[in-house]
Structure 1
Amino acid sequence: MVNVSSAYILAIIVCAVMFIFSAVVANLISFKPDMSDVSKRKIWFWIFGVFTPVISFCLNYGVFFLKIHARSKQSEFLTAMAIAATVSFVIYIVAGFFAAKISKTGKISNWF
């Protein structure tokens, strides 16, 4: 049985995975004396940020939504999917902001 909380759980998992990918990519980009590496880190952070709600919504649609046959439950779950995708994006941005502020001299500090 598919529950509305499944949409939120999957969205939070996607958010965490994308945040980890963003941190790994930021650490893989080497320092450059002309500071051109800073813009690369910011760009990759925002690319993963945009992918977070898109992947969250698509996974929820493919994994859970297609298995729901009742129209009322579909409508309810579709709303939950949209809210969960938005929440995952907001959590990604807030977590990135806090990580950038905590890591004042590291590679992650260049996200904002």
Structure 2
Amino acid sequence: MPVVDMWPDRPADLGRYGCQSGSHDESGDPMLRLVAVVASGTRTLVDAVFGAYATSELTDAQRLPACLRPGMVLLADRTSATADLIGTFAATGADLLVRRENLSARPPRPV
């Protein structure tokens, strides 16, 4: 699950992480994106990736598969439901359960 955090601005942090832009220019504080794998039963942090706010969470998530092993079950949100990322996670041998967009035009597939 991605998390965005802000902290007081310093030129070095603004240059590395950037900040959110909007209708009134950019916010003053640097923003950091965190994408993590957390054990659902124990809520243990298994692995985490920190990245610039401007970087896609999908790009950051590509750095997480090293923590996955056969026998684990990865629960992922629909933002992770891209063929490339699912393929990367599946290659670890972990089982996947990914929520995806509502595709009501498609008939359900048998499991």
**Same fold per superposition (TM over 0.5):** no
Shorter-chain TM-score range = under 0.3
TM-score (norm 2): 0.25
**Which structure features the higher share of strand residues?**
2
Higher relative contact order (CA 8 A, sep 6+): 1
**Which structure features the higher share of helix residues?**
1
